[in-house]
Chains A and B, each alone.
Chain A
Amino acid sequence: MKMINPDDLSKAIKELLTEKKIDLFIGWEKGSLPLSATPLFITSEDEAERAVFDITCGNNLSIYFTKDRKQFADKKVGIAVKGCDARSVVLNTLEKQIDRANVVMVGVPCHGVLDKKKVLAKTDGREVLELIDNGDTVTLIGKGYELSIDRSEILSSSCLACIYPDAQECDIFIGDARAEVPNENRLKEIKEFEALSTEERWANTCAEYEKCIRCYACRNVCPSCYCNVCFVDQNDPGWIGNTCEFTDSMIFHVIRNLHVAGRCVECGACERACPMDINLLLLNRKVAMEVKDRFGDIAGLDINGKPAMVDFKEDEKQDFIMG
């Protein structure tokens, strides 16, 4: 496993800032808590050393372009991107949220990011004071224990099914970018779920989504969710009740999934942000699979394309139409 050399990253950032190619760089730095890196915003080359990239850098930074867009309107921005983040940037460019000419994408070689909930399950809930990313293994150190575990055991479920770990569209890449990486786990979970009977699937869905507390963390952290007024916040007309009642939250999730259909880059930020540990990505992946099978689109890969749901072809498969 070829990890990133931190010096290469800071050198690249330093160069961009010194040559005034960018006014601001958005990346990650070591967080105050060992399990999560903090988004980093730097404007001067002296601070470039602060930038890091490791297993804790889960944030999809492209949300700053869509949710904080006024702040970056006239600036040249450099941004560190994993494979999924790069797809988000491409998608947001297609949707005219970003001017590609004002963005310098710095690709980093990604080997997956961790899911805090999985880490805490490994340590039986004991606090982790230090995390060392060794590549294939990760060492967790806490009060009175030291654990060395396999990287794959704590990776976010989005990373386990990832086929584009490295940016397919970027201006600079730190190291060697991999193209599509085959992954036999990609559709495994979906196929297993599809093999169940309707009743079993419904029972599973209920068990999963009954946990939802409607905190909207999934929506807030999603780089593709940036409507000024979300349909759940609208009260005239008030489409769905603002309660945790099961059907209300189920409708929220189904409709959110459809709103990000053909736009979801499967970065898994929603699932990592979910405090109730709901398997949110299952539906997202199912929708992405349908979009790929039917329309041949993969979100955020083609910077000259069009998002799937605003496009159409005249002779499409319509097996679901009656008669």
Chain B
Amino acid sequence: MSEWQPRILAILCNWCSYAGADLAGVSRMQYPPNIRVVRVPCSGRVDPLFIMKSLQAGFDGVLVSGCHPGDCHYISGNYVARRKFAVLKPLLEFIGIEPNRVQFSWISAGEGERFATVVTKITEDVRKLGPSTRLVKKL
């Protein structure tokens, strides 16, 4: 049997992080193939419900990435998103979800290298934690 591989959902904003992922691809950078990408118009589109739902569906980790503060295509979407995540992350840790399961980052369209680093880091973090069991619906 092959070794367990983490499955990580990456929710990326269309204008920066998704383009950053694209750049990492066309630049032939190497990063772990453990992410499944969902493209959203803006990190402000990310409802905490998406994150909870993906944990429930059995994803071992969730990465949410958007434009750097000040670079939002819609001016202020990522500022609003930041407030949401600033509350969601401590709350998840508070109820007892492992801190590294859900992570947030800012990646611009020019940061292909950073995209590769971030994906490598979250994959390693989640690999260390092992398969997700908390909040996974077993029915």
Contacts and interface: CB of A to CB of B under 8 A. Distances in A.
Contacts of A200: 96
A286 B48 contact: no
Interface string A293-323: 0110000000000001111111011101111
A322 B118 contact: yes
Most buried by A among B69, B85, B92, B114: B69
Given A231-B49, A322-B122, A261 B96 contact: no
Interface stretch (A115-123, A212-220, A243-251): A243-251
Q: Contact size class for B?
A: 35 or more
A309 B83 contact: yes
B137 interface: yes
Interface string B108-139: 00000010011001100000000000111101
A121 B62 CA distance: 43
Contact of A202 (B52, B80, B103, B134): B134
Contact of B87 (A239, A241, A251, A261): A261
Interface string B5-21: 00000000000000000
Contact of A283 (B76, B95, B103, B122): B95
Main secondary structure of the interface of A (DSSP, over half): helix
Contacts of B48: 254-255, 258
Interface in A223-251: 231, 239-241, 243, 245, 247-248, 250-251
Contacts of B134: 202
A193 interface: yes
A204 B137 CA distance: 18
Given A231-B49, A247-B56, A254-B91, A290 B139 contact: no
Interface in B79-96: 79-80, 82-96
A25 B65 CA distance: 50
Contact of B135 (A201, A247, A317): A247
19 contacts: A201-B94, A201-B95, A202-B134, A205-B96, A251-B135, A254-B95, A255-B48, A283-B95, A287-B91, A290-B86, A290-B90, A291-B87, A318-B86, A320-B85, A322-B118, A322-B122, A323-B105, A323-B118, A323-B121
Given A258-B87, A314-B79, 9 more contacts: A200-B96, A202-B134, A251-B49, A254-B48, A254-B95, A309-B87, A314-B70, A318-B82, A322-B103
